Amino acid sequence: MDLIIRLDGADGKTAAVYRALRTAIVDGRLPAGERLPPTRALAADLGVARGSVATAYERLAAEGYLKTRVGAGTFVAIKAVKRTHRRSATDPIRPREGWTFSPLETSGATTEPRYDFRSGIPDANLFPFDAWRRLITAELRLRANNPGTYGDPAGHPGLREAVARYLGVSRGVRTTAADVIVTNGAQHAFDLIARVLVKPGDVVAVEEPGYPPARRILAAIGAKVTGVRVDDEGLVVADLPAHCRLVHTTPSHQFPLGRAMSLARRRELLDWARTRPAAIVEDDYDSEFRFSARPLEPLHSLDTAGRVLYVGTFSKSMLPALRTGFVLATPGLRDALVAARQLGDGYGQPAVQAALARFLDEGLLARHVRRAGRAYGERHARIAEALAAMPGLDVLPSAAGLHLTALTGADSTAVVSAAARAGLVVDDLRAYSASTPALTGFVFGFGATDSALIDEGMAVFADVLERQA
């Protein structure tokens, strides 16, 4: 362990060593149990007499900060006392003018509730960790994936080829490896697209209600974000702004209402884009899990004018912790998107991407999706049936994904708060709208739900809903 100690105090070197070590222990930079260097070694590093270091150690031990184990060494004995860092009273460095964004709370930063109906979380218990561990271990060998060099910002070549093949089979998407740009999840793909296509002041459209992070990315770069309503057939094309530069949509499983965009509406949207310099971001975030009916063709497959950027993620079909997604770039945007990726974070994790390529090519993802899909389908059916039996709820049809939505005339925010006090967490539909009046209802995720607690949890929710009515 290296220690940086200033020796310029007026009270001598022994006092300086003592003071520096004590401060490091109290601040937590030297945690409890940390082994300190031998007195001779630290004295040599600092260029002071060994006696100065030994005296400092003895004083700290006498005060309870250090303890000595014969034959083992000297160790920190106490835990740190939490202290705030001293800041300038004026704190002169502030965000740029117009920056109003604060971090959003993530599922991993909150305590897991007893009845967990949060949306967007897959069931990690269903994931084949043994198979994944075998693949990732093989890719972390010394001579695998050239670990001493920097990777391709577009992604591991094997993964780009595997994604193109997988989409061709599972979604009927006609694409090649050259079109695939690997990203750190869908959110990263949205950020790259926005930076390349949208400039401050451009008009962009998002679904209303819709996916808040996509809206935040566009607003953060200074775009004029317009919410466009969604009806039973999907995004209402007739309401799109005339001079719109980009449209973000979730046609396979509208987020958060759950409906699929009709074929007629898909063609209408493509016809609209064909007549103007507009791009469509097709966010296909969880359509792998289907419970009834065959999926409609993606917008990307219907597009003949090169207007659609197809974004996918493995966060729902596998695990969010893998942080892997992709965008299918149009020819005119490939180089710009790859350059944006390189500017932002260089490149991804070659070992993870290579393992994922094998996971796809060996059929392990398809097998996992089938197995997990059966479990999710059973949860979907039980929750839908329970909600349908509750007075005052309108359960929206949903044939895919990891959540379903129910509308209500009640105060959904009050119900969600009361449910949380009862140990049940469910999403408030109002949180997905930027306009008022917003739709009121509940978004029930079932990826993270304990199957054994579904019936009990739905009974708790029914009781809360009745008391709040």
* Tens of pLDDT, residues 311-321: 999 999 999 99
Return the pLDDT at 106: 83
Q: What's the pLDDT tens digit per position in 34-74?
A: 999 999 999 998 889 999 999 999 999 999 999 998 889 99
What global pTM score does this model have? 0.86
For residues 368 and 290, what is the distance between their CA atoms, to the nearest angstrom?
A: 13
DSSP state of 200: T
Q: How many residues does the chain have?
A: 469
Return the pLDDT at 234: 96
Whether the predicted pLDDT of 286 surpasses 60? yes
Whether the predicted pLDDT of 302 surpasses 90? yes
Of 144-158, 228-242, 243-257, 305-319, give the lowest mean pLDDT range.
Answer: 144-158
Among the listed residues 293, 292, 281, 300, the one whose alpha carbon sits nearest the alpha carbon of residue 168: 300
Q: What's the pLDDT tens digit per position in 14-33?
A: 999 999 899 889 888 888 99
Torsion angle defined by CA atoms of residues 418, 422, 425 and 427, in that order, rounded to the nearest 10 degrees: -20
For residues 24 and 437, what is the distance between their CA atoms, to the nearest angstrom?
A: 53
Return the pLDDT at 200: 96
Whether the predicted pLDDT of 292 surpasses 90? no
Residue 80 banded pLDDT, cuts 50, 70, 90: low
E strands, 209-253, where? 224-231, 234-235, 244-249
Return the pLDDT at 7: 76
Is-cis flag, bond preceding 92, omega within 30?
A: no
Return the pLDDT at 298: 94
* Token pair listed for 346: 């260089």
Contact 177, 164 (CB under 8 A): yes
Return the pLDDT at 148: 85
Provide mean pLDDT across the span 414-439.
94
Find all residues with CB under 8 Å of 67, minimum gap 6, and list them: 61, 74, 75, 77
Provide mean pLDDT across the span 452-469.
95
SS (H, E, C) 295-310: CCCCHHHHCCCCCEEE
Give me the chain's average pLDDT, please: 92
Provide mean pLDDT across the span 264-269.
97
Return the pLDDT at 89: 63
Q: What's the pLDDT tens digit per position in 102-152?
A: 888 888 877 889 999 999 999 999 999 999 999 999 999 877 888 888 999
Provide mean pLDDT across the span 166-174.
93
E strands, 297-433, where? 308-313, 325-328, 393-395, 403-408, 424-428
Contact 245, 198 (CB under 8 A): yes
* Token pair listed for 128: 């084949």
Residue ranges and CATH numbers for the domains of the chain are 13-76 (1.10.10.10), 109-121+370-468 (3.90.1150.10), 127-366 (3.40.640.10)
Question: HSE (CB half, 13 Å, CA atoms) of 316?
Answer: 23
Find all residues with CB under 8 Å of 84, minimum gap 6, and list them: none
Q: What's the pLDDT tens digit per position in 336-377?
A: 999 999 999 999 999 999 999 999 999 999 999 999 999 999
* Token pair listed for 209: 């209600």
Q: Find tokens 């198979």 and name the residue.
A: 131
Which conformational region is residue 258 in: left (phi greater than 0), alpha (psi within -120 to 50 degrees), or beta? left
Q: What's the pLDDT tens digit per position in 366-421?
A: 999 999 999 999 999 999 999 999 999 999 999 899 999 999 999 999 999 999 99
Torsion angles phi and psi, residue 378, rounded to 5: -65, -40
